[in-house]
Chains A and B, each alone.
Chain A
Amino acid sequence: MVEMNNVSVVYESSGTEALDNVSLSIKEGEFVFLVGPSGSGKTTLMKLITGEIRAKSGKIVVNDFDMRHIKRRKLPKMRRTLGVIFQDFRLIENMNVYDNVAFAMRVVGARRKEIKQRVPYVLDLVGLEGREKRMPNELSGGEQQRVAIARALVNNPRMIVADEPTGNLDPVRSLELMLLFEKINEMGTTILVVTHEKELVNALAKRVVAIDNGHVISDGEGGYFDYEIE
């Protein structure tokens, strides 16, 4: 699923070493929280996985794609094996809920019939049945994030990568969202969630990888989150 061996990333513009010899393995079907303070390297690690940046050294394989040597034209194919979720939802403002989700299927060339079957199923799964015609600005933050999750799920990805998905939500909606991730994980999808929410991490009792100053400083099962975040 994700295999990183001695991966280092240096931002050439500033000379900052964002990741230093990081090794990490995430197996198929796992649920992993990635925690750490601001500037610790979490986002860099996410960007490595999504192919937005490349490692300076080491080896990184995501869903069988060698991310250090992947050709630019192969990136779309790789990204279709991932479902990416952001803190700010990133929905297309001028598309309704249905189209925001269907869009991800159109991108991969799905047939109209498949889209008509799959989109309502996924919207139902994330609890958005009956809201297909709403525009993003007519939805609450929690609902918008559910649309983003539906969009990430609709192509049946092998892995969901969520960057601070609860950052803009209240505690109740945040817990609901985490429980939704848990439900998706139980259906077989690997989940990687970057978060600051200590209570949520501890409540779900999953594997927690802590990162600071570009190094993995702890990695353990059971959801014990003892790292103090600034």
Chain B
Amino acid sequence: MRLNRSGYLIREGFRSIGTHGFMSFATVTIIMACLIIMGSVTLLSLNIDKVIKDLENQNEVVAFVDESYTEESARALQGAIEGLDNISTVEFVSRTQAFDTFMQSYSTDLAEGLDDQVLRDRYVIHLTDIARMAETKTALEGIEGVAKVKAHLDYARTFITVRNVVSVVSLALIVMLMFVSIFIMSNTIKLATFGRREEIAIMKMVGASNAFIRLPFVVEGLVLGILGGGLGFLAEWGIYEVLTKKLVGSVAGIFTVVPFAQIALPMLIAYMAISVLIGAFGGVNAIKNYLEV
């Protein structure tokens, strides 16, 4: 295909967007709407996952040091604990600190007359993966000087179950929505080209090759796809920012949300890839039947 002819066909694609203004608008709107719905479910599931992870992180393991150990020798155990697999953070809490915390949490009457050395030195430990809590507990118990390990294995199991269920449900929803979106977007493009079957028939009759007929539709589909994807991405960003600001305001200090900037690039890539593919292949697929004359 000669260069001047390709230029003409690309211009034709752009011109056609303006000529069929309403259908172009409908196509872009549908692509936008589908991507926003799909994106919102993805963002929701990402945030649920983050909340669960935050809660998991609050589920700490406490390793009590043998009473016979001095504070100095108790502190010396930190290296051995940190050297274990699946350890995220380790914080040493001395007997005195533990007693102060106890006093703040409970009635001071209860502790009246108690020695501030009555509690044991301990380590507050956060794990990387709470699914491996049981094996980490055993490993901690194996360190000489660790007298007892307190780990809420039942909580951990609950979190893991919730997280797995959320992941499976989210994935199923996203895949389902993706198929529904692809179906709706393809049909919108099909509808847009249905009104132009006469035009295609005329092109065929004056001797246009299939490639000549197809290229403007591909250009048109690509441009509409990029527009729909780009606008959908910006709209999603705006909606997310507004909603999360309100949410953060109401649950401040309890949960944090995934910042949009953190997921903006993969989301933009996904939006553009889906909309461009749908646009271009949708355009080609939509006119396929009209070309068989």
B209 CB to nearest chain A CB (Å): 5
Given A92-B199, A92-B202, check contact A108 B293 (CB 8 Å): no
Set of chain B residues within 8 Å of A149, measured between Cβ atoms: none
CA distance A79 to B203 in the complex (A): 11
Q: B19 interface residue, CB < 8 Å from A?
A: yes
Set of chain B residues within 8 Å of A104, measured between Cβ atoms: 206-207
Q: B206 near A103 (CB under 8 angstroms)? A: yes
Within 8 A of A (CB), among B153-204: 198-199, 201-204
Q: A112 interface residue, CB < 8 Å from B?
A: yes
CA distance A149 to B203 in the complex (A): 15
Within 8 A of B (CB), among A79-118: 79-80, 82, 84, 90-92, 94, 103-104, 106-109, 111-112
B37 CB to nearest chain A CB (Å): 33
Q: A107 near B2 (CB under 8 angstroms)? A: no
Chain B residue nearest to A78 (CB atoms) is B207
Set of chain A residues within 8 Å of B2, measured between Cβ atoms: 109
Q: A111 near B4 (CB under 8 angstroms)? A: yes
One digit per residue, 1 when the CB lies within 8 angstroms of any chain B CB and 0 when it does not, for chain A 134-161 equals 0000000000000000010001000000
Q: A228 interface residue, CB < 8 Å from B?
A: no
Set of chain A residues within 8 Å of B209, measured between Cβ atoms: 73, 76
Q: B242 interface residue, CB < 8 Å from A?
A: no
CA distance A53 to B2 in the complex (A): 31
Q: B8 interface residue, CB < 8 Å from A?
A: yes
Q: A151 near B4 (CB under 8 angstroms)? A: no
Given A90-B201, A90-B202, A94-B19, check contact A107 B208 (CB 8 Å): yes
Within 8 A of A (CB), among B238-293: 293
Within 8 A of B (CB), among A49-86: 50, 52, 73, 76-80, 82, 84
Q: B207 near A76 (CB under 8 angstroms)? A: yes
A35 CB to nearest chain B CB (Å): 23
Given A79-B207, A103-B206, check contact A109 B5 (CB 8 Å): yes
Q: B14 interface residue, CB < 8 Å from A?
A: no
Set of chain B residues within 8 Å of A84, measured between Cβ atoms: 205-206
Q: B207 near A80 (CB under 8 angstroms)? A: yes
Chain A residue nearest to B203 (CB atoms) is A107
CA distance A50 to B204 in the complex (A): 10
B12 CB to nearest chain A CB (Å): 9
CA distance A151 to B202 in the complex (A): 11
Q: B212 interface residue, CB < 8 Å from A?
A: yes
Set of chain A residues within 8 Å of B212, measured between Cβ atoms: 76, 107
CA distance A91 to B201 in the complex (A): 11
Q: A107 near B19 (CB under 8 angstroms)? A: no
Q: A107 near B206 (CB under 8 angstroms)? A: yes
CA distance A179 to B206 in the complex (A): 23
CA distance A107 to B211 in the complex (A): 11
CA distance A79 to B198 in the complex (A): 17
CA distance A84 to B5 in the complex (A): 23
Q: B205 near A50 (CB under 8 angstroms)? A: yes
Q: A77 near B198 (CB under 8 angstroms)? A: no
Chain B residue nearest to A103 (CB atoms) is B206
Q: B5 near A79 (CB under 8 angstroms)? A: no
Known: A90-B202, A92-B199. 4 other contacts (CB 8 A): A76-B209, A79-B207, A82-B207, A107-B208
Q: List 9 A-B contacts (CB under 8 A).
A: A50-B205, A76-B209, A76-B212, A79-B206, A90-B202, A90-B205, A92-B202, A104-B206, A107-B207
Q: Which residues of A contact B (CB under 8 A)?
A: 50, 52, 73, 76-80, 82, 84, 90-92, 94, 103-104, 106-109, 111-112, 151, 155
Among all A-B residue pairs, the 3 with the closest Cβ atoms:
A80-B207, A79-B207, A104-B206
